[in-house]
Amino acid sequence: MSKPVDRLWLSENTPEAIRRALSQMKPLGAYDHLAAAAKARAEADWLVGLNATRAFSLRHGRPGSPLSVGRVQTPTLRLIADRDREIIAFTPVPYWQVAVTFQATQGAYVGLWQGSAKEHPDRIMSLNEAQAILAPLTPGTRGQILSLETKRVTLKPPLLYSLNDLQKDANRRLGMTAQQTLDAAQRLYDQHLVTYPRTDSRYLTGDVAATVTQRLRGVGQWPAYQDLVEGVPRPLRTRRLVNEADVNRAGHHAIIPTGSGSIGSLAGRDAALFDLIARRFLAALYPAGLDDRTTLITEAASHRFKTTGVAVVEAGWRGVLKPAPASDSDADEAEGAAIPPGLVEGQAVNVDHAEIRARETKAPPRLSDASLLALMEKHGLGTPATRARILELLLARDYVMREKKTLQSTEKGRQLLEVLPETIQSPELTGRWERSLEGVAEGQEDPDHFLHQIRSYTKELVETARTQQGARVAEEDLGACPVCQIGRVVGNAKGWGCSRWREGCSFMIWRTVAGKKLTPAQVKTLMAGKTTATLKGFKSKSGKSFQARLKYSQESGRIEFVFQEKSPAKRRRGKTQAAMGAKSGT
């Protein structure tokens, strides 16, 4: 005789949460649709990834170097490669601005010349035109404030963190990668400090919202947050944070502190990430911010000049968050934004000085973890639990590389996209599949119908590979071998070696040296006989981190560490030590 089975569903593992979840268990059948969606997603990934990887590896791969194709990873690679192509194709266009500093009795302010163009009216596309505008704007030229408009703007508090939002914020504010953020969040969860991190909801259920007061008491016991907790307005404003339907869709509510445990032992990334989560939780409970945004139009020498400024009336929730690192665009917008108080329409002003500023249009920025995650979320690529892993997979397969804080496609990654059909690269197609899986999870779509479509698509994909013509995807060619001077240095899964290894050339640089992965640019430096810049992230056999420069020794055929001089009295540039296990790649 079958017995009824209930499922325990936890979003945090504190004793109170476990007791609460035990009292709210649901029949196992209540999760059938969610289970069907998870099973269909896994089967779809398996069907497309396994078959496409084998088919295109046989057609376009090389012996010992299979390709990797996936339902989510390949469209993600396409997003990165598309941005790289935009940057390569971009041609800067010069333009000029005329900036005038006006002097009023209340103080000075800067205005930018405004033309009639709807977009970027401050841009002048000819230097001669800019000089003609500048000519009559000599010091002392009379001007007048034509209009002055101030609007009070309400800035609502942010919602709580989903994993995607947390990963984006941690990347922008802390420089953490998506995987580093997920790993740190998991450690905080395991220590009972935050709730379950793998969620794409920014909301709470009503039951969890009822525990906010208790959580505040817990957070308030830690000195770093005592004053902030005391500043939370009472009664609590939690209604905007409750959305039962969204939490049910996601499976777990937003990431918030449990209010229990101890944060005294936290350090490094774990401490920084907990601080982000705690401050976001508190900021969501604070009042809105208020700004006065002023637009000022000044006329002088028959030309009009625009000045914009922002004055903070009430910081509100913004006072809870630590300042974010300023970007270049922030700096550009802030320039000339100070407007003296007390100015009025019709007021006379004088030109203090005027100048021409040479500018040029900027290429779109390289993608970072934060901006890539935003694109993946926009196109429905992956889930909060898988996006970081997808990115790390692309990095491990050398389809993508990190350059400081940005992501770039490699030559190998771009070659792969050239031989794959458009359908497997399409973010839109994968996004449609993800929406279908959401429908399965909600009981609105049939999982068998979804998988039937996946199987049909996979057959078409394999047939495309079977009948395709084209070159094989080559590993990145870094140039002539510095040892034999005949072969080419090409990459494989373990490192970069000479193409004449069968003829006996022993040149080899492993991808990983003392726990640190080398980039193609660093390998090219070593091949040229040069010493790299100081690199961080090496690990000794005892697990201790250290930094050093690297050079390649022709005599030993090994990578060697070059350490910075410790004692100035010795007057030597550095101490060279053979990299332990460089031949084995450890």
Of the candidates 467, 501, 457, 463, the residue with the CA atom closest to the CA atom of residue 481:
501
Q: Which residues contact 431 (CB under 8 A, 6 or more apart)?
A: 379, 380, 381
- CA distances in angstroms from 121 to 96, 329, 538, 583, listed in the order given: 11, 18, 51, 60
Q: Where are the alpha helices (DSSP H) in 343-496?
A: 369-379, 387-396, 411-419, 422-425, 427-441, 447-467
Of the candidates 462, 492, 467, the residue with the CA atom closest to the CA atom of residue 478:
492
* Burial of 571 (C-beta count, 10 Å sphere; 0-12/13-18/19+): exposed
Of the candidates 167, 165, 178, 186, the residue with the CA atom closest to the CA atom of residue 390:
178
In SS3 terms, 247-268 reads as HHHHCCCCECECCCCCCCCCCH
Quote the CA–CA distance of 116 and 124 in Å, as a whole number: 11
How many other C-beta atoms lie within 10 A of the C-beta of residue 128? 9
Eight-state DSSP code of residue 364: P
Annotated catalytic residue, options 161, 189, 196, 225: 196
Q: Which residues contact 119 (CB under 8 A, 6 or more apart)?
A: none
Q: For this structure, is 203 an active site residue?
A: no
Of the candidates 216, 204, 196, 217, the residue with the CA atom closest to the CA atom of residue 160:
204
Give the active site residues.
196
